């Protein structure tokens, strides 16, 4: 039913994001799931958890596939159905959607949904190659285009169409680094000045070093159950009231419009309608800022401002902590880090903290409604979820 909870989050966990030398992806996931289990002492994992969904982009990083079973094994959950979902950088956003399906279907009363990626032991060239696998092989990868290049095309199109500036993109980095400085689990816990952003070296014009998200190791998870069971486990369940997922062409070259992600717009429309929530009612959002231009485009696609006004919105300070709609309070992919398979549920983890009043120095006052927005590739996949506190 529209506006009613689909499922409830009773706990969540996240590993420290960063360069985690000497640890396997499965060990990072144990950090995340252990936190989630410890937050919920009434939970008996081996008895209560009926399924596991893990977002994981690629086997290439660790030469390891079969991630679902590997994670279940090391997390002490052997025996339950364990499934890996893959949608590039949107893998755990899609895992979250899969977990919702499982609970709503009645096949599982409680599921663990998460994501993981171990990336930093590979060279930048290797990571760039592996990430490029999420683009179109014969018409993008083969010709040497990379994701910085693809998002640079979006940036130049947006600049041409709407007068968006490099300084406006730089303000996204400044804001998100400030938020990351308040997050003890963020990869990059330091503030940066706009001048530092603007004078950093170009990666793919107009995107500079500080316009790009980090290569990161990390894991995250949430525990979902039926709304009617949630109060058995916690006094502060967070309800997912809207869920949308959509796709677009795999290749950027096939799209009529480079200044918007149609998958985001479709997923957001579905989530808003299901939740019976308007963009104006959202108190905070975690959006997919793999590059700073992506956050500005997300503002527009999610309805936080008019088309073309993303740059003006970040200039207004309305998306800062204390603003009308704080965005990426965690530090976002830009500062928290982007272990690609873990990003979707890391966004859900931040919303969980915020809506339960556990976000400490970055807490959004009186937050009741949150939104997460996770993108795969250059927008061929998007997942949008809307959350509401119990109060």
Multiple choice CATH, 7-122+216-238, 3.30.565.10, 3.40.50.300, 1.10.3720.10, 3.40.47.10: 3.40.47.10
Q: Which of 158, 177, 288, 338 is catalytic?
A: 338
Rounded Cα–Cα distance for residues 126 and 190 (Å): 27
- Are 5 and 23 spatial neighbours (Cβ–Cβ below 8 Å)? no
Domain extents in the chain: 7-122+216-238, 144-213+240-389
pTM metric for this prediction:
0.98
Residue 144 has a CB neighbour count (10 Å cut-off) of 8
pLDDT of amino acid 391: 67
317 Ramachandran zone, left/alpha/beta (phi>0; psi -120 to 50): left
pLDDT of amino acid 390: 83
The length of the chain is 391
Which residue is listed with tokens 């990626």?
Answer: 117
pLDDT of amino acid 353: 98
Residue-wise pLDDT tens for the chain (391 aa)?
578 999 999 999 999 999 999 999 999 999 999 999 999 999 999 999 999 999 999 999 999 999 999 999 999 999 999 999 999 999 999 999 999 999 999 999 999 999 999 999 999 999 999 999 999 999 999 999 999 999 999 999 999 999 999 999 999 999 999 999 999 999 999 999 999 999 999 999 999 999 999 999 999 999 999 999 999 999 999 999 999 999 999 999 999 999 999 999 999 999 999 999 999 999 999 999 999 999 999 999 999 999 999 999 999 999 999 999 999 999 999 999 999 999 999 999 999 999 999 999 999 999 999 999 999 999 999 999 999 998 6
What are the start-end ranges of the H helices in the chain? 25-39, 45-48, 67-74, 91-105, 124-132, 147-162, 166-181, 194-199, 227-230, 262-275, 292-301, 310-315, 332-335, 343-355
Alpha-carbon torsion (115, 118, 120, 124), positive or negative: negative
pLDDT of amino acid 91: 98
Alpha-carbon torsion (96, 100, 105, 109), positive or negative: positive
Does the annotation count 89 as an active-site position? yes
pLDDT of amino acid 158: 98
Domain spanning 144-213+240-389, CATH architecture:
3-Layer(aba) Sandwich (3.40)
pLDDT of amino acid 3: 85
Tokens of 338: 């982007």
Domains 7-122+216-238 and 144-213+240-389 share a fold: yes
Q: Which of 89, 212, 290, 305 is catalytic?
A: 89
Give the model confidence (pLDDT) of 5-44 as tens digits: 999 999 999 999 999 999 999 999 999 999 999 999 999 9
- Residue 64 per-residue DSSP state: -
pLDDT of amino acid 2: 74
């Amino acid at each position: 039913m529209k506006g009613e909870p689909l499922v409830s989050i009773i706990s969540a966990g996240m590993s420290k994001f960063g360069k985690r030398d000497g640890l396997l992806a499965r060990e990072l996931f144990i950090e995340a799931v252990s936190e989630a289990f410890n937050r919920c002492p009434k939970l008996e994992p081996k008895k209560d958890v009926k399924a596991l969904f893990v977002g994981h982009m690629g086997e290439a990083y660790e030469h390891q596939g079969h991630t679902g079973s590997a994670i279940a094994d090391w997390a002490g959950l052997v025996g339950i159905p364990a499934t890996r979902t893959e949608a590039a950088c949107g893998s755990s956003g899609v895992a979250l959607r899969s977990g919702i399906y499982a609970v709503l279907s009645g096949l599982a009363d409680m599921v663990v949904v998460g994501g993981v990626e171990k990336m930093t032991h590979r060279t930048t060239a290797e990571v760039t190659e592996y990430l490029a696998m999420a683009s179109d092989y014969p018409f993008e990868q083969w010709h040497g285009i990379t994701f910085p290049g693809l998002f640079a095309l979006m940036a130049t199109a947006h600049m041409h169409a709407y007068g968006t500036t490099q300084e406006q993109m730089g303000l996204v980095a400044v804001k998100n680094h400030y938020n990351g400085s308040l997050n003890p689990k963020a990869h990059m816990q330091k503030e940066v000045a706009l001048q530092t952003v603007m004078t950093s070296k170009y990666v793919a014009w107009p995107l500079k070093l500080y316009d790009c998200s980090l290569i990161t190791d990390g894991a995250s998870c949430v525990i979902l159950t039926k709304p009617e069971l949630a109060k058995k486990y916690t006094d502060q369940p967070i309800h997912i009231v809207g869920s949308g997922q959509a796709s677009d062409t795999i290749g950027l070259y096939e799209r009529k419009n480079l200044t918007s992600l149609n998958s985001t717009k479709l997923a957001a429309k579905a989530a808003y309608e299901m939740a019976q929530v308007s963009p104006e009612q959202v108190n905070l959002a975690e959006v997919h800022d793999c590059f700073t231009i992506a956050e500005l485009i997300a503002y527009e696609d999610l309805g936080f401002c008019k088309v073309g006004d993303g740059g003006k919105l970040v200039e207004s300070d309305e998306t800062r902590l204390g603003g009308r709609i704080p965005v990426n309070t965690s530090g976002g992919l830009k500062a928290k880090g982007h272990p690609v398979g873990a990003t979707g549920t890391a966004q859900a983890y931040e919303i969980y903290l915020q809506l339960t009043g556990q976000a400490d120095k970055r807490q959004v006052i009186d937050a009741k409604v949150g939104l997460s927005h996770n993108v795969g590739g250059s927008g061929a996949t998007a997942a949008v979820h809307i959350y509401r506190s119990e109060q």
